[in-house]
A and B are shown apart, each in its own frame.
Chain A
Amino acid sequence: MQVLKNNWWKIAGILLLVYVITGGLLFDVPMIDLLHETIRNIYFHVGMWFGMIFILFAGLVFSIRYLLRNDPSDDMKAYAAVLVGLLFGALGLLTGMIWAKFTWGSFWVNDPKLNGAVVGVLTYLAYVVLRGSVDDRDKKARLAAVYNVFAFVLFFIFIMIIPRLASASIHPGLEGNPALVPGDLDPRMRKVFFPAIAGWFIMAWWLFSVLYRTMRIHQKIEDITENS
């Protein structure tokens, strides 16, 4: 019973994604020119991308908290969040590329939205490189926290603002938020799309918590061996 009490949200996440995989591939979807069955990718590609934004936002909160309280665990949490965000970002790009191949005939096209997305992900890769280039633990944490605040702002500009300024994008959802505006998404798809977002959010948080705990154990072992 205690196990269920501690893990209910993980079980809920698993059930949601089992529903998304099943319903996402088997339920009816509207037949739209050019998209056809590939429209089902929205449950995975957009869901993972939202999961990435959610966990990167959590990373931003941890970085700000580190700058305010100077607690090293906040820095470690921010790092874990960014790594999970990068994983979701890579999966989001990959699912997008596969979709593009079948819809546009090419894995990548020179489009402001696509280019903005990849530059945004590269901004976060630079965060990982920055951490690796500094040895001093406190200095690394402070530098990384400050950079993470800028990285989130830059990321937001690259994926949300610049593509909307350039009106020539062929990527769906240029006007407003893709799939969230009323009337933008078919009601049949909403019953899978919203659970998909919740499921990917939970998955991102679960992976983050596992990664953070692993990092904390690694750090503690290092501290013990240094002290003994």
Chain B
Amino acid sequence: MAGEKMMVVVLLLLVIFLGIAVFLFYLERRLSASEKKLKQLEEKQREKLKK
């Protein structure tokens, strides 16, 4: 009985931890997209300043 309860605790902790990890990957993807957009914006601004 105590072993089963422990398994529930372990599984719950794993779900929480893996949830955080998945969220971090998602956040990194969003960051990469933002960095790409920002780079384009910076290039546009540089061209504008040249003109």
Contact = CB atoms under 8 A, between A and B. Distances in A.
B21 A14 contact: yes
Interface string B1-39: 000001101100110011001001101100100110010
Nearest to A213: B31
Interface in A23-42: 25-26
B20 to A, nearest CB: 9
Interface stretch (A48-56, A75-83, A189-197, A220-228): A220-228
Interface string A206-226: 110010011001001100100
Contacts of B28: 210, 213
Binding site secondary structure of chain A: helix
24 contacts: A10-B21, A10-B24, A10-B25, A14-B18, A17-B17, A18-B14, A18-B18, A21-B14, A21-B17, A22-B10, A25-B10, A26-B10, A210-B31, A213-B35, A214-B31, A217-B34, A217-B35, A217-B38, A220-B42, A221-B38, A224-B38, A224-B42, A224-B45, A227-B45
Interface of A: 7, 10, 14, 17-18, 21-22, 25-26, 206-207, 210, 213-214, 217, 220-221, 224, 227-228
